[in-house]
Amino acid sequence: MKRMITLLALGILLHQAASAQTEKGSSLIGGNLEVNTAKDNSSINVTPMVGYFFANNFAAGANIGLDYSKTGDVKSTGFGIGPFARYYFGTGMLRPLVQGNLNFTSYKTKTPTTSNSFTGTNYFLGGGAAAFLNRNVALEGLIGYDHTAFENQDGTGGLSLKIGFQVYLSRAQVAAATGR
């Protein structure tokens, strides 16, 4: 009987800890990483993000995309900024989610003989899950469609896999950190 009460209490505590992470008024800070490698091509994308929960399980905010790629002797760097929105499902320690984001980007491409700059847009639409390690920290994986288009050029897109790390702060934690 004692064991059953202990398990029940533990279950209630885990449920309360998990459900508090994505409540209205909370914030999230973190980012995602995407790495691609092939025979003559490699790229890395880091996307820091900060968001606010406008409703339970619904967060929106801003993200910054930082890109580097190399194909043969062509090197490209990029910077983008834009909004994101995500919605979490359930109340457990493993929370499915959907996310969309749009970035307005600026790229520079260099070869041994030329250098070009151009602008464009990038969007991502996908889903995945956040695995909460505790009340405030989650590891996440996302899979979805990633599309980039540049001025006066056809866009390219494909399947994208991202891994991430997020820190979730309650309204009280944000107030304590900012002295309000």
Q: What's the pLDDT at 49? A: 98
30 and 47 in contact (C-beta within 8 Å)?
no
pTM of the predicted protein model = 0.82
Cα separation values, 60 from 74, 87, 164, 178, Å: 35, 9, 16, 20
Kind plus residue range of the DSSP H or E element containing 74: strand 74-88
Q: What's the pLDDT tens digit per position in 102-145?
A: 999 999 999 999 999 999 999 999 999 999 999 899 999 999 99
Q: What's the pLDDT at 156? A: 84
Q: Give yes or no for residue 16 having a pLDDT over 70.
A: no
Higher-confidence position of 20 and 101? 101
Q: What's the pLDDT tens digit per position in 60-77?
A: 999 999 999 998 899 999
Token couple for 45: 């994308």
Kind plus residue range of the DSSP H or E element containing 177: helix 171-178
79 and 106 in contact (C-beta within 8 Å)?
yes
Token couple for 151: 């001025």
**SS3 state of residue 25:** coil
Q: How far apart are CA 164 and CA 46, in angstroms?
A: 9
Q: How far apart are CA 57 and CA 21, in angstroms?
A: 9
Q: What's the pLDDT at 12? A: 43
In this structure, what are the phi and psi dihedrals at residue 178, rounded to the nearest 5 degrees? -95, 0
148 and 120 in contact (C-beta within 8 Å)?
yes
Q: How far apart are CA 93 and CA 10, in angstroms?
A: 13
Alpha helix stretches (DSSP H) within 57-118: none
Domains of the chain: 2-178 (2.40.160.20)
Q: Bridge partners of 52?
A: 27, 60
